[in-house]
A and B are shown apart, each in its own frame.
Chain A
């Protein structure tokens, strides 16, 4: 019996080649899309879970907050880790710290010709290998980072410095002044890690690089601090103990505003919104949710398609079903037969989907910067198979139960009931198109928002600005820097040169201030800059003046922004001049500019100039050079030549500020692309469904079309008649989708401090797209039906 079913099913699929192709490819596209998104979502959700003890590892963050301003930072004071371990021995088993000195990169060299700037270099404690589960290829996980001046390289980093030679025991020169011995070779860090390193230097190396105050104080917070809870200790116990630690150890000035929120290791990647001082940009839980929703919707569209086409196909087979009943077929056997056919089709679709995915995998990896491989397919193969089969069952169930319940008389009498008059089918088409239209609207809104983020007026000019890391190199002293600047400015291609603490628009630091007229200390965003800062970035002044070249004159001056004036209630920008912050005079008020990312609102900001070499060396890490855009290559060439003469100890390295910004919004840009592709796919699937459905339904009306033609109807009028049925449904779908999409996108946009307004044309574009696609697909089918010779269609009865 089942053998026969299988044979008939296969033959049926073969006989209806075109329809089968639509059915299978539509579902395959849906499955592949859904599975790809699922892979991405699972990858996002699985961050850091590869650590064996991930459930017991927590990161201690620091939040210093007073009166609505302050800092929420991923790192903590250096001394905190060991202090916690000492004070809370009943809760903690171990702790590990990582840190970077205030610098974006460090120069390592193995001989002059193998000198590179390493951005992913961290000072790390041995816990990286014995508390976390990062893999060490060679070396001892306990001791490799114990002694000062030890370094562990990843394989790719080792290749850069030592080629294929064994690096163990070899020497690397650090910043031109310290020799590090290679004590370990680490495997590359997995993609699904919130921390990726190329080079790890033993934490103890820092001992003689830092002052006692830096090492033992609780004010400066540069160390990413992780603790390992003892078995069966709930995190709430640690949380309860932390306020006591703050009260006991933290300096009085910040004690009351400080909390130490803890983060479970696996939460870091998706739940770190609002934290500054992160290793690298994290994921965003909101995007994961959005994508999971999209995945479900795309699959839903594909399933609806499948249901619609299966139903349409089985309506064609109503006669067969009725006959089978008169031949003694029970309802169960009919249901089994029809479900079986649906399952078979979905199984084929699953096969095609796997092939599609295998082909599209490299593009997908490229798009998402992940590294999925074929083995992920097998890993999730069970899910995929189950999903495919469930889809088949779901899709086959409706026609199976619906049609097998028909009284045979209707079928045998040639009754063509159901058809497009079936409300269920109409409703399904509406749902399908509503989802597509909503997705189009969502994509439009999202891509506009992302474009806005990329191009928004930042309040400063970021194009044509080169950023060069300068900390702890020959340029770290004020005089050297000024010399260097003078040399650069002799070339007319170099328009302006300044230096600053962090790349503008990307990161910032905070400081504690006592503003005039307010009897409290407050945390504000702060940037140390050199004179020429406002000019280099084209930031306008609301009042007062810029920093002067005469640094002694400005050693106790600050410039604030308009947000600060508003925050402190100082009235107008003019009014704020001559007021004092920490006894430092306000000499200028800059118009608001986005010194942090556009995800957050502009906060109060203080700009300082360093007044001695120590401050300069410590706080000023980047040189910013505005070059003439008309001849960038020669400007950069000149810059490099001058650099190599003046700063021999450090490799020449630069980046464009606008590139850095692009990176900041990279995840949005990338998601925008991904969303666009998936939406095009979903619309495509919906259209395939429409084509298939139209073909069937027009097939059913062959006789009517023939009769109408014989009665003198024109091709145009028949096409209009046939297409209008479908258009009505699409219009209903648009009316349902628009308000729903509006509501959800409005909520989504609310997450952004700076955002676009949703505009009416977005809805019009989405509607037009849907109508256009529907007319195109149904129209072609209708015209073909209308053009057919009536003799043919009438003979079919």
Chain B
């Protein structure tokens, strides 16, 4: 599904280049659950942003479902977001001015999903995450764990093939974190959704089937998780 070849990302600082990513090669197959780990500044988030097409590599090739992302224009990227990719952020990043229901509805609006189907999909998800009673609340009225549940639900609502999660439990207490990770695991196992997450926590990383260890912008080693 994802093929990275010699991905590089650097910023010019004066006459020097500061590398964030260097010669990153990776292959992620459909249905995998991959965790990216590494110390602060190792380039985890940058790599995830590149995977999510939020950022572009300065060099190298990125193939997504057999297409060269480096050739995508903005319109094509927008299509990717609509059809294939869902994001979960550490800081939840819900739209503050919209209610839970509206936050969930927004991706469907952009996908031009008909009104009746929108309603049933949102109802399903709210039901699944036990949030029916909260649908008219604004994000600021929810706890962190609840907000992240909405964040996950929003990522799922468009039925993406790939979920990219940037430290999804970084701001959460461990019981809530566990709940979120269980959701990811179920999604991966039962719905076959490919998941790539950045995490600091060994425990969370173990929910996946493979771990990429990053150090100083390079993939130091790969580790398969034994269940």
Contacts and interface: CB of A to CB of B under 8 A. Distances in A.
B82 interface: yes
A4 interface: yes
Interface centre among B91, B95, B105, B111 (most CB of A within 10 A): B95
A11 B98 CA distance: 9
B96 interface: yes
B183 to A, nearest CB: 19
A427 interface: no
A329 B93 contact: no
A759 B197 CA distance: 70
Contacts of B154: 327
B89 interface: yes
A506 interface: no
B110 interface: yes
B81 interface: yes
A162 interface: no
A409 B110 contact: no
Interface in B43-58: 49, 52, 54-55
B223 interface: no
B203 interface: no
A412 B89 contact: yes
Contacts of B107: 327-328
Given A1-B109, A4-B109, A326 B54 contact: yes
Nearest to B166: A412
A8 B97 contact: yes
Given A327-B154, A408-B54, A8 B98 contact: yes
A330 B91 CA distance: 23
Contacts of A328: 78-79, 81-82, 107, 110-111, 158
B33 interface: no
A407 interface: yes
Contacts of B49: 409, 413
A328 to B, nearest CB: 4
Given A4-B109, A326-B54, A409-B54, A331 B78 contact: yes
B87 interface: yes
B93 A330 contact: no
Contacts of A12: 97
A524 to B, nearest CB: 79
B121 to A, nearest CB: 14
Contacts of A409: 49, 54-55
A324 interface: yes
A605 to B, nearest CB: 76
B78 A323 contact: no
A379 to B, nearest CB: 40
A325 B93 CA distance: 12
A323 B85 CA distance: 13
A412 B54 CA distance: 9
Contact of A327 (B74, B91, B106): B106
A512 to B, nearest CB: 83
Contacts of B111: 328
A319 interface: yes
Contacts of B85: 326
B113 to A, nearest CB: 11
Interface in A394-413: 407-409, 412-413
Contacts of A325: 78, 81
A165 interface: no
A4 B52 CA distance: 27
B17 interface: no
B75 interface: yes
Given A326-B81, A326-B87, A331 B98 contact: no
A412 B85 CA distance: 15
Interface string B60-98: 000000000000001100110110010101010101111
B74 A331 contact: yes
A374 interface: no
Contacts of B78: 325, 328-331
Contacts of A407: 54-55
Interface bracket on B: 20 to 34
B49 to A, nearest CB: 5
A599 to B, nearest CB: 60
Interface centre among B89, B93, B158 (most CB of A within 10 A): B93
Contact of A333 (B74, B96, B97, B110): B110
A1 to B, nearest CB: 6
Nearest to B95: A320
Given A329-B110, A330-B78, A323 B54 contact: no
A324 B106 contact: yes
A571 interface: no
B44 to A, nearest CB: 13
Nearest to B164: A326
A329 B109 CA distance: 9
A329 B79 CA distance: 9
A330 B76 CA distance: 10
B93 A323 contact: yes
A255 to B, nearest CB: 80
A456 to B, nearest CB: 62
B47 to A, nearest CB: 12
B153 to A, nearest CB: 12
A413 B46 CA distance: 10
Contact of A414 (B91, B102, B112): B91
Contacts of A414: 91
A413 B52 CA distance: 13
Contact of B97 (A1, A4, A15): A15
A414 B93 CA distance: 9
Contacts of B79: 328
Given A326-B87, A328-B82, A319 B109 contact: no
A464 B51 CA distance: 91
Nearest to B79: A328
Interface string B170-196: 000000000000000000000000000
A407 B54 CA distance: 7
Nearest to B81: A328
A407 to B, nearest CB: 7
Interface string A1-29: 10010001001100100000000000000
Nearest to B46: A409
Interface in A285-334: 319-320, 323-331, 333
Contacts of A408: 54
B227 to A, nearest CB: 31
A630 to B, nearest CB: 74
Contacts of A4: 102, 105, 109
Contact of B96 (A320, A324, A413): A320
B93 A412 contact: yes
A327 B110 contact: yes
Contacts of B95: 320, 323-324
Contacts of A327: 81, 106-107, 110, 154, 158
A413 B87 CA distance: 13
A414 B154 CA distance: 19
Interface string A68-84: 00000000000000000
A171 to B, nearest CB: 79
A319 B106 contact: no
Contacts of B87: 326, 412
A15 to B, nearest CB: 6
Contacts of A324: 95, 106, 110
Nearest to A320: B95
30 contacts: A1-B109, A1-B112, A4-B102, A4-B105, A8-B97, A8-B98, A11-B97, A15-B97, A323-B93, A324-B110, A325-B78, A325-B81, A326-B81, A326-B85, A326-B87, A327-B106, A327-B110, A327-B154, A328-B110, A328-B158, A329-B110, A330-B75, A330-B78, A331-B74, A333-B110, A407-B54, A409-B49, A409-B55, A412-B87, A413-B49
| Ranked 3 nearest A-B pairs via Cβ | A328-B82, A409-B54, A328-B110
Given A323-B93, A328-B158, A409-B55, 4 more contacts: A320-B97, A324-B110, A327-B154, A412-B89
